[in-house]
Amino acid sequence: MSQQESPTKIYHIADLTVEYYMRRLSIRAVNSVNLRIEKGEAFGIVGESGSGKTTLALSLLNLVPKPGRITSGSIIYDGNKDVLKLNGNELRRFRWEEVAMVFQGALNSFNPVVRIGDQMLETIDEHKSLDRQEGLKKISTLLEMVRLDPERTMRSFPHELSGGMKQRTMIAMSLLLDPKVLILDEPTTALDVISQKHILNILADLRKQIGATIILLSHDLAIFTEVVERIAVMYAGKLVEVASMDDLFLRPKHPYTLGLMQATPSVLGDVSKLKPIPGSPPDMFSLPKGCPFNPRCPFTIDTCRKVNPPLEEIPGNRLVACHRWRDVT
């Protein structure tokens, strides 16, 4: 694993494990994840709620809340900084200046007793010393970019904005310090279709204008098609497949991914052909031995029940964690 760190990797995640400790039990929300994300890439992570994708994203900022703890691994940013080893002040500057995150359901992402404009200015003040005029200008520009009225929005309190408006405001807020990486966790969930479209358009524009790396998390496959180039699939805290969007949608090599594709309706497809994935979501407190997906997998063989398949590179510049990937169609 001691390769030369290629300068185009913005994130090199190695063997990351995050555990949550409760009373007498612990669960591995993220289990030995290895992942490399290219600079300027538009990367997607798909998984059900509870699959560990949010925890993974939080780790990228070393923001995993108690009772969670990162118990092993390293996260190398831009080839030289291990995010997990940054000290207090370094970490503080790293956050938002280098990497920003738009949280799931921005409904409660703002301080309820402070106006939006003040919170934006606050963010700028804590990092750089832009003078007030420049700061306000920047905020206005960004708010316009997300198609919001700058004046009105800045004067408002969070509870005066709708869900969609708050989501867009949060996106604007995330861009305040020109971060190199933007992480968005379920940016379109809980929004109406029109707002969803808006946001996806905004994201597409962003990539063109800023050239930042975008990491998109969702359980909804559909939104990836608009923005993303490469996708990783997570199940029960494990990365089970990583491939380009085309490869993933047209030639999935992991049974879970295959299941997802077959269960997702497309506008043109025949709804009667939808097949839900059998079985129930994994119980993180008692995962099965071997591959966590094996109880629900149509391709299971004996090895699957004993050995947890590692994430391996396969031809076509993709990764998969399955003993029987060759047989998956």
Partner 1 sequence: MKWMYRRGILALLSIFFAVVLTFFLIRLMPGNPMDVYVQILIRSGRARTREEAIERTRALMPVNMNDPLWKQLADYILAMFRGDLGRSISSFAPVSDIIVKSLPWTVFVSSVALVISFSIGTALGLVLAFNRGRKFEGFSVATLTLFGAIPNYIMALVLFYVLTIVYPILPMRGAYDSTIAPGLSFQFLLSVLTHAMLPVASYVLTDFSGWALGIRAMATTILGEDYVMVAKARGLRQSKIVTNYVGRNSILPQFTGLVMSIGFMFGGSPLVELIFTYPGIGRFFASAVSARDYPLLQGLFLMLAITVISANFIADLLYIQIDPRVKVGE
d(C-alpha 107, C-alpha 170), whole Å: 10
Nearer to partner 1, 101 or 243 (CB): 101
Burial class of residue 267 in the structure, from the number of CB atoms within 10 Å of its CB (0-12 exposed, 13-18 middle, 19+ buried): exposed
Residue 25 touching partner 1 (CB under 8 A): no
Q: For residue 107, what are the contacts with CB-CB under 8 A and spacing of at least 6?
A: 163, 166, 190
Count of positions (residues) in the chain: 329
With binding defined as CB under 8 A, does residue 20 bind partner 1? no
Q: How far is CA 288 from the centre of its chain?
A: 26
Q: Is 109 in the site for partner 1 (CB under 8 A)?
A: yes
Edge to edge, the sheet with strand 9-22 lists 25-38, 9-22, 68-77, 81-82
Q: Which of 6, 111, 201, 303 binds partner 1 (CB under 8 A)?
A: 111
Q: Using CB under 8 A as the criterion, what x/- string covers residues 220-259 for binding partner 1?
A: ----------------------------------------
Of the candidate spans 7-15, 111-119, 252-260, 317-325, the one that interacts with partner 1 by CB under 8 A turns out to be 111-119
State which residue, 98 or 247, has the beta carbon closest to partner 1: 98
Q: Which is nearer to partner 1, 126 or 192 (CB)?
A: 126
Q: Could you say whether residue 180 binds partner 1 (CB under 8 A)?
A: no
Single out the residue of 97, 163, 210, 308 in contact with partner 1 (rule: CB under 8 A): 97
Total residues binding partner 1 (CB under 8 A): 27
Alpha helices in the chain (DSSP H): 53-59, 88-97, 116-125, 132-145, 150-155, 163-174, 193-210, 224-227, 245-250, 255-263, 302-306
The residue among 62 and 74 lying less far from partner 1, judged by its C-beta, is 62
Q: What are phi and psi of 176, to 5 degrees?
A: -55, -35
Burial of 65 (0-12, 13-18, 19+ CB in 10 A): exposed
Decide if residue 86 touches partner 1 (CB under 8 A).
no
Structure token digits, residue 274: 């939808």
For partner 1, which is the closer residue by CB, 163 or 295? 163
CA 217 to each of CA 111, 112, 132, 156: distance values in angstroms, whole numbers, following the listed order: 24, 26, 34, 29
Binding letters toward partner 1, positions 112-131, x by CB under 8 A: xxx-------xx--xx----
Q: How far is the CB of 46 from partner 1 (least distance, A)?
A: 22
Footprint (CB under 8 A) of partner 1, residues 53-82: 61, 63, 65-66
Closer CB to partner 1, 107 or 261, in the complex: 107
H helix count then E strand count, the chain: 11, 12
Stretch that binds partner 1, among 87-95, 189-197, 225-233, 269-277 (CB under 8 A): 87-95
Helix axes 116-125, 163-174, angle to 10 degrees: 20
Q: What are the phi and psi torsion angles at 119 (to 5°)?
A: -70, -35
Is 281 within 8 Å of 296 (Cβ atoms)?
Answer: no
Residue of 36, 95, 238, 323 that binds partner 1 (CB under 8 A): 95
Residues that bind partner 1 (CB under 8 A): 61, 63, 65-66, 92-97, 100-101, 103, 105, 107-114, 122-123, 126-127, 173
